[in-house]
Every structure is written in structure tokens, then in C-alpha cells.
Amino acid sequence: MKRFNIKRSFKGLFFLSILLTGVLFFSTSCNDNQSSNPPTNGYTNDSFPGMIVWIKPGSTRADLNNWLNNNVKGLGPIDTAAYCSTCDNSLILLKGQGPDLFLQHQTASGGGGSTGNPLTGDDGPIYYSYNFEFPYTDAIDSSEIPPSAKIKFGKAYTDSVTVAVFDSGIDSTLISYNRFFYISSSPSCIVNSAATTGWNFSANPTNGFWEDDFNQRHGTKVSALIIGQVNALGGTGVKLLPIKIVTKAGTGNLFNALCGFSYAANRGAKIINASFGYYAPDKHDPAGLGTSYATLFKAFIQKYLTQNNILLVAAAGNTTPDENIRNLDKVAFYPASFAGDPDLPNVIAVTTVFEDPITHNATVSGTQNFSANVVDIGVNADVMPNYLFSNPFRTSHTLNGSSFAAPVATGQICANYHLLLNAAGAFQANRAAVLNMLNAQHLIHTNAALTGFIRGQNIMIKRPANN
């Protein structure tokens, strides 16, 4: 079985110190203080980001405790746990020697043999998963953004759609808060008065500060691209719900993203822009365990997004020029790879392409992922030869990566949200309806040169922003 060389550590949220002494007791409410006890028995592994467990509907904390006693406790202590607030307090992050060794395929009986446990799975009363991490180490634009570049204006819209931006936050000094942000006074599932208009899932829960403090302002640029497409096309306006899952240092993890999904559903988001992701092992590995690497993640999306008609627009991912690594028919990059799952019709994957305006030949970026069965849209780059997009704050500078292709698609979908409402006024958050609408509005067109690279060979042209 293939495994990852995970080098980064990432401290989650809502940490509570617990001690495993035969029975593991969990608090049923969210504690706003962070604390942790040092690992016992000489065990230290600061790089282990944790094991996520999610109690299935109909199961109880007692069922979880029994499962842990039977499968994890014998491997070592469980030193700390994190709760996903009251948005879903059945989602828990475990750390310590026991969870670490369990995910290394050890047996609870104490033997050295492998159980074949995948990094994520479905077992009895729970789903479990390695807490995959996603460092923002690429798609970087090092230019500073001048304060004069603040996006202040937009057209007057009668209606607007709430878009949750899962990223490093949004810098409200660069994007007008009153004009473009989701503002609500209604209580949220997080018991904190600051949690009504966005939340920081990457830090201590007493800090709801969702401002973008990552030095590249990744989430702010993503948000500006969404706004730019909405302003260019008109139609439906947009209200941004900042869901910060990336730290100041530029790292995020699956646990924080999952917590954010439950919060976004609670806040009534209709579309999520996901310019993040992580690689999973080869889907065609000999052990046949490929699809199990996303068991918990998939089930969580089904509950909070699919069942609530929330559309997830995901970046296809960036990597080396090796086509065997970039082909999402051979490897998996989540959440984008869920676009190939028929059980998740509400996921759309986006990459970057370039179509020559004279010859009409089209190619996919040599450092971004593609797939004839997963990727739905290729956004046409602004600048060649490196498949770049113009920086929305400083047009003389450029952006690179599928992280910036996804918000272009998100923005164009948002602008036409009103066309995706059925006769009863319900949002049709499914891939077929969205692609049909974009085609009818002449926002995508096909190019046979992308056969084998983009499902449907769809190209989207980025519209000049009108901010």
C-alpha cells in the first residue's frame, strides 16, 4: 500500500486535553480553550496531524468509545482531541500514539502485523480518516498589493447568492465589506457572536478573525476574481462568506475544511469555492483500496453539501509536468476528484487551458491536472506561455495555478445563479444543469483538441473585470 511522507504539522482547532484510561469520555459541548498534555510513554510525533473520526447517524459516543477501546487503545494513548464545534460535534480530531499507529496499519492486539487499514475508512459506528494537509506552496504571486487597489464598487443587484470562500481568509481592507460580504445577525451553529458572518477554522476558537493574514493574500485574490466575473456579467450579485481554513503560514488540513462545510451549510451558502486540495494514493493501486481513501470526506460532502443543494467548485490541482501524476484518472486530488463520482453530482472540477485565438488549438497547462472523466471546465489563460491570469489588484502582475481558474468559473456561475433556479425556486446544484446553463449563455464552448484532457472539452473565457 502506498503511503505519504507527511512533513508538515498543523495544529487544529477546539483542542481539549483528554486521558484514555479504559473508557474515553468526550464533552458534548464546545470548549473555547486550547490545551494539550504531552504524549505519554515517551511517544513523540509532532508531525502527526491527527486522525479524524465522525460518528455515524444513529451511533452514539458510547459506540465510539467501544470502537476506540477495541481498535486504538491497545496501540497507545489518545492524548488530545478536537471538536468541530456545535455545527457537528460528532466530528472529532484525535491525536497521540494510538491513532498514529492505527493509521500505520498496526493491530490493537499489539502485534507488528499490518491490518491493511487504509488512511480513511468506514468501520462500524464511525468513519475515520488521516487528517490530510494541504500546504499552499505553489500558485504564488509575490507582488504586494497597493491599498489603492481596493475593490469598492459593483453593479446594483436586486438579488445575490451567498458564496463560501474556503481559503486563507479575505482582506476587508482590499474588498469592500459592506458591498461584497455576507452580513447576518442571525445566530450560527457556532456559539459565538462573531461567527455570524464568517469564521476562522485554522486557529484557536476564541479567534473568529477571518481576515486574510497569509502573506500572498491567496483568499483575497480568489475572492476578487469571483467578484470580477460577477461584475463583468451582471445578473445575480454575490455575497462572500469567508471561511478561513488556511493559516498565516499557508497550511490547512482536512479537519478544518470539514468543519467549514458544516458551518457553510448552516449559514445558507449556495456555492463553495474550493481552491485547495490534497493528493491521495493511486486510485488503481494493487490493493484495490483507492476509493476508500476518501470515504469520510465523501460521506461528509453528501450530508452537508449534496443533500443541501450546495455546489462545490474545486480547483483541479497543480503538480509537476509528468502527465502520469497530473492525470486524475490515475491519481486522486480531493475534493476535485469527487467530480468523477456519480454520487456527487454537485462537484465541478476546474483547470487552466489556453486556446490559440488564430489556430484554435487548445492545450492544458503543463503543470496543472487534467482528466477526461473528472475535470469539467478549462478556464482560458490571460497570458502565455505559462498559462497565467492577470492579478485582479495589479494587472502588471500575474497569477498561476488552478486555484485561480476555479474562482473564474465560480464567478460566472454566481452571475447566472438566477438561471439555475427551478420553477419552485430551488437551486439546481448539479453538474449537468450548470454546464447546460453555461453553454446556453455562451460562457463555455467546446474544442476537440481537449479530448482526453477535459470531460466535454469545455473552455470558459475569463471576462474583463468591471470593478
pLDDT tens digits for range 229-256: 999 998 889 999 999 999 988 899 999 9
Give the pLDDT mean for 189-209: 80
At residue 18, does pLDDT exceed 90?
A: no
Give backbone dihedrals phi and psi of 149, rounded to 5 degrees, phi first: -85, 5
Distance CA 282, CA 287 (A): 10
DSSP letters, 241-288, are EEEE-B-TTSEEEHHHHHHHHHHHHHTT-SEEEE---EEE--TT-TTS
Cell readout for 42 is 515517551
Per-residue pLDDT at 426: 93
Hey, is 321 helix, strand or coil?
Answer: coil
Written as one letter, the residue type at 272 is I
Judge whether 369 and 375 are in contact, CB under 8 Å.
Answer: yes
- Check residues 18 and 399 and name the one with the higher pLDDT: 399
- Check residues 143 and 110 and name the one with the higher pLDDT: 143
Q: Is the dihedral of CA 375, 376, 379, 380 positive or negative?
A: positive
Give the pLDDT mean for 178-203: 89
Per-residue pLDDT at 151: 67
Per-residue pLDDT at 392: 84
Give the pLDDT mean for 343-366: 94
Among all chains, which residue has been given the C-alpha cell 461528509? Answer: 300
- Check residues 203 and 392 and name the one with the higher pLDDT: 392
C-alpha angle 394-397-399 in degrees, rounded to nearest 5:
105
At residue 153, does pLDDT exceed 90?
A: no
Distance CA 248, CA 1 (A): 34
Domains, the chain, ordered by start: 15-131 (no CATH), 147-461 (3.40.50.200)
Nearest to 229 by CA among 5, 24, 413, 14: 413
What are the tens digits of pLDDT across the range 405-418?
999 999 999 999 99
Confidence of residue 191 (pLDDT cuts 50, 70, 90): confident
At residue 42, does pLDDT exceed 60?
A: no
At residue 31, does pLDDT exceed 80?
A: no
Cell readout for 198 is 464568517
Confidence of residue 207 (pLDDT cuts 50, 70, 90): low
Among all chains, which residue has been given the C-alpha cell 487528517? Answer: 131
Average of per-residue pLDDT values in the chain:
82
Percent of the chain at pLDDT exceeding 70: 78
- In this structure, the dihedral spanned by the alpha carbons of residues 325, 128, 77 and 113, taken in order and rounded to 10 degrees, is -60
Residue 372 — left, alpha, or beta (φ > 0 → left; ψ -120 to 50 → alpha)?
alpha
Cell readout for 449 is 483538441
Per-residue pLDDT at 337: 94
Give the pLDDT mean for 196-215: 81
> Parallel, antiparallel, or unpaired: how do β-strands 444-446 and 458-461 relate?
antiparallel
3-state helix, strand, coil in the chain (%, to 5): 25, 25, 50
For residue 139, the number of C-alpha atoms closer than 13 Å in the C-beta half-sphere is 29
Cis peptide before 335 (omega within 30 of 0): yes
Per-residue pLDDT at 407: 97
**At 233, which helix (H) or strand (E)?**
helix 218-233
Q: How many other C-beta atoms are found inside a 10 Å radius of the C-beta of residue 430?
A: 18
Buried b (16+ CB within 10 A) or exposed e, 431-465: bebbbebbeeeebbeebebbeebbbbbbbbebbeb
Confidence of residue 154 (pLDDT cuts 50, 70, 90): low
Judge whether 349 and 314 are in contact, CB under 8 Å.
Answer: yes
Least confident range from 11-20, 135-144, 231-240, 446-455: namely 11-20
Least confident range from 101-115, 170-184, 204-218: namely 101-115
Per-residue pLDDT at 227: 94
Per-residue pLDDT at 24: 41
At residue 21, does pLDDT exceed 80?
A: no
Give the pLDDT mean for 10-31: 31
Read off the DSSP letter of residue 426: -
Confidence of residue 35 (pLDDT cuts 50, 70, 90): very low
At residue 270, does pLDDT exceed 90?
A: yes
Per-residue pLDDT at 45: 63
Judge whether 454 and 372 are in contact, CB under 8 Å.
Answer: yes
Give backbone dihedrals phi and psi of 314, rounded to 5 degrees, phi first: -120, 140
Distance (Å) of CA 190 to CA 32, 42, 86, 87, 193:
11, 36, 6, 6, 8
Nearest to 295 by CA among 128, 105, 131: 128
Distance CA 241, CA 165 (A): 6
